[in-house]
Structure 1
Amino acid sequence: MDDAQFFLGATNKSVLIVDLDGTLIHTDMLYETFWSAISARWLNIIPAMRASMNGKAALKRSLEEMGPIDIPHLPYNSDVLDYIADWRAKGGQVALVSASDQRLVQQVADHLGLFDAVCGSDGTRNLKGPEKAKYLQDTYGESNFAYMGDAIADLEVWKYTTKAITVGVSKPLAKRVEALGIPVERLSDRKRPVKPILKAMRPHQWLKNVLIFLPMMAAHQFSAITVAQSILAFVVFSLIASSVYLLNDLLDLDADRAHPRKRFRPFASGELPLVWGTLLTPLLLMTGFGLSLFMGWAFFGVMALYYAVTTAYSFLLKRELIVDICALAGLYTLRIIAGGVATGIPLSVWLLAFSMFFFFSLASMKRQAELKSGQNMGQEKAHGRSYKTSDLPLIANMAVSSGYVSVLVMALYLYSDTVRALYSFPAPLWGICLVLLFWISRMTMISHRGWMHDDPVVFAARDYISIVCAIIIFVCAIVGTMF
């Protein structure tokens, strides 16, 4: 115990003890440092496992050393901050006491400047539950402080307080706190995680998985078995893709919190605890791969390749110049390949060539939109990427030129024997080329002007002109088969 803590405990009867994880911040430092360490270097999981053998406090210290945290951008609980400010305004003193590592707790306290004393786990002692209760009694005396917490482990502390302030606790826990017979104040109730979980899974991104149906549609094979196979493949791809989205969000917490829009994502904002992502990521992955076995080993192999590429993208490829764009384009194309493998429909060279150039264009637009957003914010370099805002003209040229090449491939395809076999009246298909030329040009221009969200596919799904273009393309394809 240092002199400041002893003085605070001995002379002031109006002391508020505030917990950190889940109370002052809408997150947990253990998971924050874990994912930060893994993001920095995935092999960090090995020393973390070794440290865990020496206890939880040792694990926290090890993760703190390997996983730097962006303290200013943590999701702080505004209600708690207001409560602390009000407590201090009335002459009370406040201490931040947490089971998180002392170094992190001190950094938070230094950033906020609201605490008179600070204490956390020290690498040997895990300051949680009974250990925290004992420390607080030794420092401040029994029933000589109010305590603000959020977890069932805090019951051991609330037994010895003059007042319990609960933050986001469940109803059963709230009843147990009230049963202690001390004054209780509830700042907020625990919210159900269903909506944040669905939001984190990004079902709107499943629109990309519609590409799985493209081989079936391009070959005009609409049997019940083919449709069922495509639907199951869509479900599998969506589950595994959502697992990847969760993993990406866990690895990109700092970058997302520094982003004007991504900071509202469930994990970055603290709306959804990181423990949910840590559990759901492998669960969705295993469920998806389990279902993929019903499609055969070839489809399982395609999904394994997809996951390998996306994982490599999350840890490495997204930071590599141009390689990241190629990887994104390849992941789009893998969806088409998955659809072909799932249904047993051979993929034409024309379809693969078109998809390669078209999706390279979309991936370039995505980077263009991100760089434009950064440029508008005065940034010179994209956060977590290898691009500079000065690269914008080149990225824009890549987007539009590869898009135009995909239209050229489409035009050449219209002269192939395949088209004559599938379409009795192929002339309307030229309308598809015109629409694609217009759409690619317009999307590139929108991105250039900074009007596009980061993902062009999501933007197109909400853009009525893009929807009209899709309808026209569909009508052209239908008319080509009617005469």
Structure 2
Amino acid sequence: MITALIQSMRPRQWSKNFFIFAGLLFTLDKYHPAADYAKTLAAFIIFCILSGAGYIVNDILDREQDRVHPSKCKRPIASGMLGPGAAWSFAALLVLAGTSASFMLDPAFGCVAIFYLALTLAYTTVLKQVVLLDVITVAAGFVLRAVAGTTVIGAIISPWLLICTILIALFISLAKRRDELESLREKAPDHRLCLAEYSVPFLDQLINITASSTIMAYALYTFFSQTGEEHPYLMATLPFVIYGIFRYILLVHKGKGAGSPELLIILDKPLLADIILWAAACAVIVALPGKL
């Protein structure tokens, strides 16, 4: 039972919550007391709890559709390992614990957490069945993670951070929809109604648009934002972003698991190495003002 409960929280997808660290990463040149690092880590844990609750509710409501999916049918609720009653109770406990902890950590952060829960519920019950709004809502969830990370340490929310976050999130979400269409084919609408409105050529166009926009937005950020002006060598991280996006597109077209981006990033060694090197380069450049 315990194993099924933990699995239902989808720990593999908690990597999405690393966006919470973005605010801290790009303000390393500012003074941060040790408490800020502890708060950011606590915020990450809280969002893992809250997102886990959201995943459970989603799997309860989608258990019938998940049973026709080649991989989602193995999830605890869809497979029958975990009953809906126990799942509902566990989700409620997680929401109570997560929201209580979020307001104890920081009231403003708690408000962002509540808004994230509301967005997750809207997505789970309605928006995920509405073409285009489904991927936009997922992207908005990533933006709220980034906002939560800056809010908890009292940092100023950069518009550039929000733009880059929503674009890369749209890119990943669209690639996931494409993978679902390719893997499920004629069964796709049975799993998700809005998939009937999508097509691979249409999604390829949107993927290309968001990929190009992401690269352009990040390039403009490194050149013209306040952070970019203070750290001109930040533009040296642009090749990592370009390679990462190109590599991801390559894997999408090879059918290498874009339906599970959290696993794709970990299992594809070149992509994982690129992300680590990008983060390390950003940290070094931003943390050493006047030197790099």
Q: Among 291, 312, 315, which residue is 2:101 paired with?
A: 291
The equivalent residue for 2:221 is 413
The equivalent residue for 2:24 is 216
CA distance, structure 2, for counterparts of residue 462 and residue 223 of structure 1: 35
SS of 1:386's equivalent in the other structure is helix
CA distance, structure 2, for counterparts of residue 199 and residue 380 of structure 1: 24
Query: How far does residue 389 in structure 1 lie from its aligned partner after superposition?
Result: 8.0
Query: How far does residue 451 in structure 1 lie from its aligned partner after superposition?
Result: 2.1
Q: Among 326, 330, 344, which residue is 2:136 paired with?
A: 326
Q: 1:305 to 1:390 in 2, by over 3 A?
A: closer
SS of 2:57's equivalent in the other structure is helix
The equivalent residue for 1:386 is 194
The answer on whether the counterparts of 1:215 and 1:336 sit within 8 Å (CA) in structure 2 is: yes
The amino acid of 2:71's aligned partner reads R
The equivalent residue for 1:113 is none
Unmatched segments (≥5 aa) in structure 1: 1-192
Q: Among 62, 66, 69, which residue is 1:256 paired with?
A: 66
The answer on whether the counterparts of 1:372 and 1:447 sit within 8 Å (CA) in structure 2 is: no
SS of 1:458's equivalent in the other structure is helix
Q: 1:390 to 1:324 in 2, by over 3 A?
A: closer
Query: How far does residue 285 in structure 1 lie from its aligned partner after superposition?
Result: 0.3
Q: Among 248, 263, 275, which residue is 1:470 paired with?
A: 275
The answer on whether the counterparts of 1:371 and 1:392 sit within 8 Å (CA) in structure 2 is: yes
The answer on whether the counterparts of 1:404 and 1:437 sit within 8 Å (CA) in structure 2 is: no
The answer on whether the counterparts of 1:374 and 1:389 sit within 8 Å (CA) in structure 2 is: no
**What is the correspondence of 1:49-448 to structure 2 with a 5 Å cutoff?**
193-220=1-28, 221=30, 222-375=32-185, 378-379=186-187, 381=189, 383-388=191-196, 391-416=199-224, 418-419=226-227, 422-423=230-231, 426-427=232-233, 429-448=234-253
Query: How far does residue 313 in structure 1 lie from its aligned partner after superposition?
Result: 0.6
SS of 2:81's equivalent in the other structure is coil
Query: How far does residue 421 in structure 1 lie from its aligned partner after superposition?
Result: 5.6
| Structure that is richer in strand per residue | 1
The answer on whether the counterparts of 1:219 and 1:422 sit within 8 Å (CA) in structure 2 is: no
CA distance, structure 2, for counterparts of residue 419 and residue 343 of structure 1: 17
- TM-score of the superposition, structure 1-length normalised? 0.56
Query: How far does residue 404 in structure 1 lie from its aligned partner after superposition?
Result: 1.8
CA distance, structure 2, for counterparts of residue 479 and residue 300 of structure 1: 31
Query: How far does residue 385 in structure 1 lie from its aligned partner after superposition?
Result: 2.6
Q: 1:282 to 1:380 in 2, by over 3 A?
A: closer
The answer on whether the counterparts of 1:354 and 1:406 sit within 8 Å (CA) in structure 2 is: yes
Query: How far does residue 479 in structure 1 lie from its aligned partner after superposition?
Result: 4.9
CA distance, structure 1, for counterparts of residue 258 and residue 246 of structure 2: 16
Structure showing greater relative contact order (alpha-carbon pairs closer than 8 Å, 6 or more residues apart): 2
Deviations 1:192-234 (A, max 9, x none): x122211111112111111111101111144201111111211
Deviations 1:251-272 (A, max 9, x none): 1111111100001101111222
The answer on whether the counterparts of 2:8 and 2:56 sit within 8 Å (CA) in structure 1 is: yes
CA distance, structure 1, for counterparts of residue 269 and residue 150 of structure 2: 30
CA distance, structure 1, for counterparts of residue 194 and residue 24 of structure 2: 38
- TM-score of the superposition, structure 2-length normalised? 0.91
Quote the sequence identity (%): 26
SS of 1:388's equivalent in the other structure is helix
The answer on whether the counterparts of 2:25 and 2:283 sit within 8 Å (CA) in structure 1 is: no
The amino acid of 1:350's aligned partner reads W
The amino acid of 1:328's aligned partner reads V
The answer on whether the counterparts of 1:302 and 1:334 sit within 8 Å (CA) in structure 2 is: yes
Query: How far does residue 476 in structure 1 lie from its aligned partner after superposition?
Result: 2.7
Q: 1:478 to 1:287 in 2, by over 3 A?
A: closer
The amino acid of 2:92's aligned partner reads P
CA distance, structure 1, for counterparts of residue 100 and residue 283 of structure 2: 37
Q: 1:304 to 1:479 in 2, by over 3 A?
A: closer
Segment drifting more, 329-338 vs 291-300: 291-300
Deviations 1:265-309 (A, max 9, x none): 011112223332021010000000110111333222111111111
Query: How far does residue 351 in structure 1 lie from its aligned partner after superposition?
Result: 1.0
CA distance, structure 2, for counterparts of residue 249 and residue 420 of structure 1: 42
The answer on whether the counterparts of 1:372 and 1:448 sit within 8 Å (CA) in structure 2 is: no
Query: How far does residue 238 in structure 1 lie from its aligned partner after superposition?
Result: 1.1
CA distance, structure 1, for counterparts of residue 225 and residue 206 of structure 2: 31
CA distance, structure 1, for counterparts of residue 89 and residue 129 of structure 2: 26
The amino acid of 1:215's aligned partner reads G
**Higher alpha-carbon Rg:** 1
The amino acid of 1:374's aligned partner reads L
Query: How far does residue 431 in structure 1 lie from its aligned partner after superposition?
Result: 4.1
- Alpha carbon RMSD of aligned pairs, Å? 1.9
CA distance, structure 2, for counterparts of residue 391 and residue 417 of structure 1: 37
The amino acid of 1:461's aligned partner reads I
Q: 1:319 to 1:363 in 2, by over 3 A?
A: same
